[in-house]
Structure 1
């Protein structure tokens, strides 16, 4: 089932609707999120940063499970975090701080793995690449920066490098309002929007600006067409503009270069955009509190949702599986039964805030897998505990697995032994033949003399 999630800057909770039927699902309570502060962490739960009054008060990050409307886990980072991003399996959460720092947590343990200085001013938006190896950030300083997680976690390379980032795009003159990244890994494109009324298209493979599109109004949100022929830009005048990505420059009397047209039904600013994964549907949210679902081909409204309270500032489209149990590792299930919840612990404030064994390391896997939890993404002490549990269980299934493994290892050993035996026999025959040939040659020489 594909659902639409929407949140607001006022405490109106998180609305949830079935994208294709329009039926309202469970409404999640007690959420007042900043822009880009709502994220689905894999298929397991929802997370949102929170706006607090007064603004100087430290913020928080809240977790909801899919099945309960109440907040289940509260975290209080060391400083106010607004934009959030989760990698696709939901194993890491990144948060952008008002100081310009970026925080990266391991979800399963709540550990703060890294914190680094990313921008000179507050971070406004974060997004992971399709293969989860890159993190892209935008900030109030007008910069868009690309971070390789391989570099971030490589202490030696980090110390030797002049900069932690792969690229720093600084052509925007005002605060960055949104960033999206396309498909293709290191060959993808990045599209960024800014209060300077431009959207810029960047090449990851070349690290250069490909296209600069000037709009008649400030753009606060972007969505890429899945085929990446165009992108949609939500503006503060209530219009949704369509801009070309893969065509030549187009100049019209009404719009600027590369702008193909616009459509609108919002009475106020379009604050967020998202694309449905199942059909050609574009979803928009606005300060008027209405979420509209558009047929992207005809630009007609398919359905509308009304948020409970206040302006809409975040929209997510999430595909929910009917049964998550088959995708969850058994050690996590056992831990969940003990704790009575399938949610992780609160996020830590500081790096290494828990006194751990100095040999404990974090295993980082940055592939594009979509499984919600996998052992390759868990920290080493979680894996160690899992192994101990298996050892203590001594179940028939475990014993059978061990027997199969031993049989497989035995067969491989026998194959290797046979190969070495054959190689020895061949080498022995070769040496005997060489010795015989040398002996015969000497005998012939002696007879000739």
Structure 2
């Protein structure tokens, strides 16, 4: 496989038997099918381009319902099955793949450390079902959206503080501006301010400065918005609607002293689906859209035409992501894996701070070193603890080794935690400096006649060609 090629990953929530389908995006060829997966919307994430993690739809009598499955992309056989205390719907992971957040129908939120499966925090985040979760680009904030239109912004540093059992101090901002279910969340990285975009079934997309919590812009549509995506250049917002149309509006926040509304005048409209848009994302090839009509379209957004159409006749697509095809390459026995990334079973309940659960390289006496470790370790907490207990009773050299490795692993965990917090602190300091510069510049412009903004802005249909009326 060409390492530069991309693969399209999709799944449905219709039944566990449909599984995950992976296509070659350049040719449309079927690359791989992973059985046993039925994931709800926002329930599929890719970890470090190495693993797929999917929450399973919770249906009466379903096998595996409410579980979280994890597959290694280079060896997608039987998944690692974790069973949280309640069914999880939406998922999100940090960019470095260290932490996984999950949202439940009850409104509860969960935060796990992926390498050892430790449940770091659980808290009641919303009064209604938690539909969307998203880590900010610097992983310092966690944004959540619920079925009642509420959006909350949480401090990840506070959430990682295992000594703090409450969630009140972790909440930075919240908003109830949306009047219906939140359907999408995304953040930008290139602006001088930290921008969050949210979509809702109330027919609006709202743009926020999520550091200060200020509402900057509202885009109004006559239809419910079911999915959103941002162009890689972060200038255009693509909004999928309940009738299958995709609206394209310019995202121009600029230096604004007050919020404004973008009217549904004449946005660019992409027509190609016969059902509600369920997912939107961008790839190197262009915009990708999935729909309840069981198709996925690849778009040339400049010419507003469909380049390729993928048919997923097994059911409506609920989740879609793009991965490099090189992630699917199997690792040979003679190939050395650098910085191997571990994944473990996810805990149901938080454990005491001095407890240990994770992946260990356990040496079995009488076996060769070539047999002791594969490219991926999935360890069960119960079997691991029983193994350690048996070794301690026998007072064997292996017991001493286990104790040493446990101490080393705990120290490595503390080191990773410290490094992660320091990195987030660095990002926060940079954001604060950018915010101060922005406010200083804004204060010098507030008295200028050019700083007055109209309440209503219209976006021309030629925005994708870069042409704007004077």
Partner of 1:20: 26
Unaligned stretches of 5+ residues in structure 1: 333-342, 363-372, 374-381, 390-449
The change in CA–CA distance for 1:55 and 1:83 in structure 2 (over 3 A counts) is farther
Counterpart Cα distance in 1 of 2:168 and 2:59: 39
Structure 1 pair 46–256 and aligned structure 2 pair: CA distance change class (3 A): same
Q: C-alpha displacement at 1:329, in angstroms? A: 2.4
Closer/same/farther in 2, CA of residues 361 and 29 from structure 1, 3 Å limit: closer
Q: Which residue of 2 aligns with 1:181?
A: 187
Partners in 1 of 2:57 and 2:221 — Cα distance?
30
Superposition pairs of residues 325-404 of structure 1, within 5 angstroms? 328-329=338-339, 344-352=343-351, 357=354, 385=405
2:105 is equivalent to residue 90 of structure 1: no
The secondary structure found in structure 1 opposite 2:31 is coil
2:118, 2:357 within 8 Å by CA — same for their partners in 1?
Answer: no
**Residue 148 of structure 2 is aligned to residue 128 of structure 1:** no
1:288 aligns to 2:283 (yes or no): no
TM-superposed deviation, 1:155: 5.7
Cα distance in 2 for residues equivalent to 1:361 and 1:154: 18
Going from structure 1 to structure 2, the CA distance change for 1:79 and 1:157 (only over 3 Å counts) comes to closer
Deviation at residue 383 of structure 1 after TM alignment: 12
Offset at residue 24 of structure 1 (A): 2.0
**C-alpha contact 2:59 2:65 (8 A) present in aligned 1:** no
TM-score, reference length from structure 2: 0.68
Q: Is 1:99 aligned with 2:106?
A: yes
How far did residue 328 of structure 1 move? 3.6
CA offsets per residue over residues 149-204 of structure 1, 9 Å max, x none? 11212367786x85421111210111111111111599321111111111111112
Cα distance 1:387–1:8, how it changes in 2: closer, same or farther (>3 A)? same
Equivalent position to 2:232, from 207, 222, 226: 226
Aligned length: 351
SS of the residue corresponding to residue 150 of structure 1 reads: helix
Moved more, 130-139 or 321-330: 321-330
Distance 1:237 1:383 in 2: 59
In structure 2, do the counterparts of structure 1 residues 384 and 180 end up closer, same or farther at CA, with 3 Å as the change threshold?
farther
Instruction: Look up the match of 1:335.
Output: none
RMSD (Å), alpha carbons: 3.2
Note the C-alpha offset of 1:69: 4.6
Contact 1:268-1:288 at 8 Å conserved across structures: yes
2:58–2:87 contact (8 Å) kept in structure 1: no
Instruction: Using structure 1 for the length normalisation, give the TM-score.
Output: 0.71
CA distance in 2, matches of 1:151, 1:220: 31
Cα distance change on mapping 1:250 and 1:213 into 2, 3 Å: closer
1:61 matched to 2:68? The reply is: yes
| Distance of 1:98 and 1:60 partners within structure 2 | 13
- Deviation of residue 242 (structure 1)? 0.7
Cα distance in 2 for partners of 1:64, 1:270 equals 27
Q: Structure 1 residue 48 and structure 2 residue 54: aligned?
A: yes
Q: 1:195 aligns with which of 192, 195, 201?
A: 201
Q: 1:247 to 1:297 in 2, by over 3 A?
A: farther
1:371-428 per-residue CA deviation (whole Å, 9 max, x = no partner) reads: xx9xxxxxxxx99739869xxxxxxxxxxxxxxxxxxxxxxxxxxxxxxxxxxxxxxx
1:6: which partner in 2? 10
Deviation of the 1:210 alpha carbon: 0.8
* Partner SS state of residue 43, structure 1: coil
| Residue 336 (structure 1) aligns with | none
Aligned-pair CA distance for 1:64: 1.6
Q: Distance in 1 between matches of 2:102 and 2:164?
A: 23
Contact 1:77–1:347 (Cα < 8 Å) also in 2: yes
Change (3 A) 1:63 1:256: same
CA contact (8 A) 1:238 1:268 kept: yes
